[in-house]
Amino acid sequence: MPSKLTVITLLFEQFELLDVFGPLEMFGLLPDQYQLKLVSEQGGAISSSQGIQVLTDYSFQDIFLTDVLIIPGGEGIKNEVNNSILLAWLNKTAPNIQYICSVCTGAVILANAGLLEGRKATTNKKHYHWVTQYGKEIDWQPVARWVQDGAVFTSSGTAAGIDMSLAVIAEQNSEDVARKVAIHAEYLWQNDPNDDPFAPLHIVR
């Protein structure tokens, strides 16, 4: 067993910056426990929705192991939801991953890959109706900051991914460790997964 757990985040063109780097900041504050890597379909540099380019460590052709996989949302998610190469890679990779996480509309990829079947899940409430068209037999939660169903974590919009990542850290370590990480970042952890203050702002049925 490696001394560190590996957290790999999927990048695609027009990903959302905070969906990626908010959670990674939390894991990165425990450098003795986690190593952080990025993957994209072809590897190389990927542009965020905000225009910033990020260099990925791996492509889908590379062989690597990960303990935690994070799938962000962003403007480019609509171009990826039916990406057969991505969906095939995800289904091939998923059985070997300890925890699979999505932030915001990233849940649509998990849904379309069939990885949320029979599970509870949530997503960005502004895009709730679009995301929840995908997948089968998913118990979508219209009011949830994040949802854990076994080894799968899904979060609401953008900043909720930070709360979710702290929940993953608490799951793997302890709530005390997660709280210390949040304090170090001077971040107010919304640690109640059912407290979703943004759901009432959108039409969620």
Residues involved in catalysis: 104
Q: How far is Cα 11 from Cα 159, in angstroms, rounded to an integer?
A: 17
- Contact predicate 162/103, CB 8 Å: no
The token pair that represents 81 in the structure block: 């939801």
Strands 139-140 and 120-121: parallel
The token pair that represents 172 in the structure block: 């793997």
- Contact predicate 69/102, CB 8 Å: no
